[in-house]
Amino acid sequence: MTEKLDPQAQSTLPAPVLSSPTTLKALAGENVPFPLALDGTDTVPARSIISIKGLPQGSTFSSGRPYGETEWNFRPDEIGDVHLAVPNAVDRDTKLMIQLVEPTGGVLATATTLLNVTANIPVYAVKTQLIQGEHWDHSSPELMQERQGKAGNLDAAIASAAQDTVSLPTKHPAMTASDEVDTSWIKSSASADLRKEPKATASVVGVIAKGTKLRVISRRPGWVEVTNPQTSQKGWIYAGVVNRKR
């Protein structure tokens, strides 16, 4: 006698699971890995896509394709090694919605990632000049005090130099009227963000191209308030990316 199979005895396949990092930190203008994973693909219909919504405008991925200004779409086989390029003019937190969408528009799985982008402020080396005849020693506070004393007594040393055969350094010439006019103009040595306030977290009101001539309005420690004659935009620029206009 042949046994009959129970028609209700069927195997159940697991539902698809979409995974993404909870938080992703990046500097503006940086290219960072964006790990994505999809498990349980046996139940995913053909022509399904993975959609990422809420991206900062100008963001791009190393694979997939854009959809509008703030969305990017992937096929499930395109998420193996994904990198995100963050635009320069971004300095905020953005919540990204990631969804697995079937051809009919139904959502099969979701995930979220908090994209934390901070401004990328360049750091420039500052050249220093040693006092002639002396060796710079970072570990000698006595030497620093000695130099400060020399600077304070410079006027007296110059007055007594008439009877000495050794030439002493002269004072810097006084600033002329033309020099004072020149200080009201600067030129950017690199492209930089023009910000609403003198701080790295302030909102960006424009972008200054390298070599742009700017009129100075005021100054703060580490920042310069300028007007861009080309665009009539007014804001603050990081002092490390400007040169005195000659």
* CATH code where residue 219 lies: 2.30.30.40
Can you give the residue range of the structural domain that contains 28? 17-118
DSSP 190-242: S-EEEESSSSTTSPEEEEEPTT-EEEEEEEETTEEEEEETTTTEEEEEEGGGE
Residues 186 and 99 in one domain: no
User: CA separation (Å) from 85 to 76, 112, 146?
Assistant: 20, 18, 52
Domain count, the chain: 2
Residues 28 and 110 in one domain: yes
Residues 125 and 222 in one domain: yes
Residues 114 and 218 in one domain: no
- Asked if the structure places residue 227 within a domain, the reply is yes
Residues 125 and 223 in one domain: yes
Residues 75 and 183 in one domain: no
User: CA separation (Å) from 134 to 38, 110, 240?
Assistant: 65, 67, 29
Coil/strand/helix, residue 30: coil
Rounded to an integer, what distance in angstroms lies between the CA atom of residue 208 and that of residue 223?
14
Rounded to an integer, what distance in angstroms lies between the CA atom of residue 86 and that of residue 35?
15
Residues 71 and 125 in one domain: no
pLDDT at 135: 53
pLDDT at 182: 44
Residues 234 and 193 in one domain: yes
222 in Cβ contact with 206 (< 8 Å): no
| Mean pLDDT, contiguous 10-residue spans, the chain (246 residues) | 42 84 90 91 91 93 93 93 87 90 94 90 61 54 63 58 48 42 74 88 88 90 90 89 66
- Asked if the structure places residue 156 within a domain, the reply is no
pTM (two decimals): 0.46
Residues 243 and 213 in one domain: yes
- Asked if the structure places residue 170 within a domain, the reply is no
200 in Cβ contact with 216 (< 8 Å): no
245 in Cβ contact with 181 (< 8 Å): no
What single-letter amino acid sits at 155? D
67 in Cβ contact with 53 (< 8 Å): no
Residues 125 and 225 in one domain: yes
Residues 217 and 242 in one domain: yes
Residues 113 and 190 in one domain: no
